[in-house]
Structure 1
Amino acid sequence: MTESRPHTLFSFGTLMDERVQTALFGRTVPTEPASLAGYTTRPLPITDPAVIAASGLDVHLILERRLGATVEGAVLHLTDQDLAAADAYEVDDYTRRRVVLTSGENTWAYLDAKPLRSAQRIVIVGDSIAYGRCDPHGGWAAHLAAAHIAGNEAEHRVFNLAIPGSTLADVSEQTPALLGPRRPDTLLVAAGINDSALPLTAPQTHGDGPVHIADSLGSLAATALGHNARLVVAGPAWLDEERTRDYEGLRFTRARALALRESIRAWCDENHVDYLDMWEPLREKSELLVDGLHPTPEGHEALYRHLDTVSRRA
């Protein structure tokens, strides 16, 4: 029989209630005071009858980023079974992610399931597509910046630090030195297509999947957590293989791009990291690609609309 592992979970709402704990876990659980810096809370209406019955409330709280703020709460000590019960209790507006308490402890907390909706300061890193190549208006990242800053011009910031040609290994190496002055609460990694590229001189039968993806993403996750920032990974966009087979000495194939997409998604699922699938907005829409790889201005707009829907909109 597999032994249950211990877990810690930061609670700032109904999970601190002994009646809720008894209903979920069959007992009260060991609890100690704790606080979480860089966050505030906002009310969240609840419609799930089972959750309302357990908590006695139809309005709960959800975390929102705010520089200089602190949320007081408690750390709950849970088993595997307890954590699963807590996951089942939380409605779809919440998702479980890692945070760092003011004590320096690394723990679980339930955050907004829309990863950019509660963000305040976003840093974007990635390659030429994130950089906005082929769009004089700055690409999907510029659309995101305009909408995000318009929501709160005084406090919202977006820093696009993408570098054309970058792979995930490049991004994981370059990013740590860039974050400090920008005080991000969210690190948006555009895991673009370069990790799937092969030199044209490579054998056509080369079948290995993308390498070092897990190491690079693990490094980026550690970097983000070191700043108490939320890691959000945007996967590769669809490409037109017929137009990209000889691009600046590299070969891009749909099969390898799909393998990259799946390996990134699997890593994010396994590590409780937000994954934004960017494949579908351009799928089979070659007219939205300048060269089979880089989106046109209209293609960037389509990517932004999709990203906004899956990461920001209520």
Structure 2
Amino acid sequence: MQATVTESRPHTLFSFGTLMDERVQTALFGQAVPSSPAALAGYTTRPLPITDPSVIAASGLDVHLTLECRIGAVVEGAVLHLTDQDLAAADAYEVDDYVRRRVRLSSGESAWAYLDAKPLRSAARIVIVGDSIAYGRCDPHGGWAARLAATHIAANEAGHRVFNLAIPGSTLVDVAEQTPALLAPRLPDTILVAAGINDSALPNAATQSAPDGLAHIADSLASLAATAHDHNARLVVVGPMWLDEARTRDYEGLRFTQARALALRESVRTWCDENHVDYLDMWEPLRGHAELLVDGLHPDPEGHRMLHQHLASLSR
């Protein structure tokens, strides 16, 4: 029987640093690879110290560059044309401070690029879309999102912005449908999506029929990813937090269960992993802390403080 030969897919990778060096390309790919000049708008660069000896040996440098969002800035570089094997070699070369994500080049072309592994650390203009928890319900201080806004803007008052567009009661389907029309005047470089728990809800009445919101999670996330790409923004998805099922069995005609919330968590995390999208897990901070949930679902001010503290730890 003749073996099936799998053809390598072509990939385009935007490079602005050491991967443009033919010596590095030869060390990684066995030869210099085809490339063409390219530019990435909305970003600048900053130095990143490197400690991995193999990366230092290949590049000859112990400081590389990483991308940072900045409105009006442009990074000049090149698009490298790679095979599957080349792309895997490039992934292995990059240190853990980088992750491969989709970007939209100044030409309108879509390409891979290596971005800061901490998505909020490199952000400047963040749009938050989501539900009542992202909105900050049950917290007069505005919830974790308001705390994130305060610290983010304080770090760079002139250049940083946070726009919280969360709407209580929203499903991920709602967010995917409503978000495109809201982005243009806000010029986001990062879209933080914190929704989905309402998609996991089931009607209390056994005779009441409703579509299963979990079945549409992947479609909604794909739609949001396309919207983010159109604006050259980075999509960051926040997973569901732990809930106290004992107190959510009759919530405005709905019931929220841990089993459904965990199914949502796994579905979102899997989709993000498969599509190279940033996922921030929020399950653990409040797990077992029923006293920090006002109604079993919405955190109180201390709960929101803990959620923000966890988000901050993922950004440093």
- Give the drift of 1:284: 0.7
Deviations 1:42-101 (A, max 9, x none): 000000000000000000000000000000000000000100000000000000000011
Amino acid at match of 2:75: V
- Give the drift of 1:203: 6.7
Does 2:204 correspond to 1:200?
Answer: yes
Does 2:99 correspond to 1:95?
Answer: yes
SS for the counterpart of 2:214 is coil
Tell me the distance in 2 between the aligned counterparts of 1:225 and 1:27.
Answer: 31
SS for the counterpart of 1:4 is coil
Amino acid at match of 1:171: V
Q: 5 Å matches for 1:1-314? A: 1-202=5-206, 210-310=214-314, 312-313=315-316
Tell me the distance in 2 between the aligned counterparts of 1:51 and 1:191.
Answer: 39
Amino acid at match of 1:146: A
Deviations 1:136-178 (A, max 9, x none): 0000000100000000001100000000000000000000000
Tell me the distance in 2 between the aligned counterparts of 1:253 and 1:264.
Answer: 17
Tell me the distance in 1 between the aligned counterparts of 2:53 and 2:291.
Answer: 47
Amino acid at match of 1:238: W
Tell me the distance in 2 between the aligned counterparts of 1:191 and 1:79.
Answer: 36
Q: Aligned-pair RMSD on alpha carbons?
A: 1.4
Deviations 1:86-122 (A, max 9, x none): 0000000000000011110000000000000010000
Deviations 1:260-296 (A, max 9, x none): 0000000000000000000000001101100100001
Amino acid at match of 2:16: F
Amino acid at match of 1:94: Y
SS for the counterpart of 1:104 is coil
Q: Is contact 1:96-1:108 (8 Å) kept?
A: yes
Gaps of 5+ in 1: none
SS for the counterpart of 1:73 is strand
Tell me the distance in 2 between the aligned counterparts of 1:60 and 1:87.
Answer: 15
- Give the drift of 1:202: 3.7
Tell me the distance in 1 between the aligned counterparts of 2:160 and 2:261.
Answer: 33
Q: Is contact 1:209-1:260 (8 Å) kept?
A: no
SS for the counterpart of 1:96 is strand
Q: State TM-score, norm by structure 2.
A: 0.97
Tell me the distance in 1 between the aligned counterparts of 2:83 and 2:196.
Answer: 37
Q: Is contact 1:132-1:140 (8 Å) kept?
A: yes
Tell me the distance in 2 between the aligned counterparts of 1:170 and 1:210.
Answer: 13
Tell me the distance in 1 between the aligned counterparts of 2:281 and 2:195.
Answer: 10
Tell me the distance in 2 between the aligned counterparts of 1:292 and 1:268.
Answer: 27
- Give the drift of 1:209: 7.8
Tell me the distance in 1 between the aligned counterparts of 2:242 and 2:140.
Answer: 21
Q: State TM-score, norm by structure 1.
A: 0.97
Tell me the distance in 1 between the aligned counterparts of 2:136 and 2:196.
Answer: 12
Tell me the distance in 2 between the aligned counterparts of 1:153 and 1:232.
Answer: 22
- Give the drift of 1:201: 1.4
Q: Is contact 1:281-1:302 (8 Å) kept?
A: yes
User: How many percent identity over aligned positions?
Assistant: 83
Q: Is contact 1:192-1:237 (8 Å) kept?
A: no
